[in-house]
Amino acid sequence: MKYPTIVLFALAAYVLPALAGNDYLWGEIGANDYKLAKDTVKKAFFVGLVQSKKYVFKQSENLNALTITAIRVTDKQKSHGATVVLASGGPGSKGVTLKFTSERGYGIKDIVEIWGR
C-alpha cells in the first residue's frame, strides 16, 4: 500500500514543475515601494517558430525618477511559458530592458510589474 503512494508522489514531483509557468523576481519588494508599472507582454504563436519580444521601461523625468527595487514577471501560460532575460538595467537603476523568448511553436503571455522608491 505504501509503494503506490511513493510512486504517485514521485510522479507528481516530476510532472508538476513541467506544468508550472516561468515566473521571475529580481530584487525585493519592500513595504515602502511603489508600483511603477504593470504591463502585459503578448505575442501570438506561429507554428514552428520561436517568438521573441523586447520590453523597455523608461521613466519620463530623469531628475525625479525613482530607483527600481524589484521586477516581477508572472507567466500566464500553464505550460510552455516564455523565458525572460534581464538584458540591461533592473534593481538599483532607473530603467530596465527585458527580453522574452518563447518555446518553438508557442507564444508569449506574461505580466511585468516594476516596483521602486
Give domain status of residue 106, yes or no. Answer: yes
Give domain status of residue 16, yes or no. Answer: no
**pLDDT tens digits, the chain, 117 residues: what are they?**
555 655 545 544 444 445 556 899 999 999 999 999 999 999 999 999 999 999 999 998 777 889 999 999 999 998 899 999 999 999 999 999 999 999 999 999 999 999 999
Give domain status of residue 7, yes or no. Answer: no
- pTM of the full structure: 0.79
**50 in Cβ contact with 101 (< 8 Å):** yes
**The C-alpha cell of 40 is what?**
502585459
Domain that holds residue 71: 21-116
**The C-alpha cell of 53 is what?**
519580444
The reported pLDDT for the residue numbered 62 is 74
E-strand ranges in 34-82 read 34-43, 52-57, 68-75
Give domain status of residue 80, yes or no. Answer: yes
Q: How many domains does the chain have?
A: 1
Give domain status of residue 12, yes or no. Answer: no
**The C-alpha cell of 105 is what?**
511553436
Give domain status of residue 48, yes or no. Answer: yes
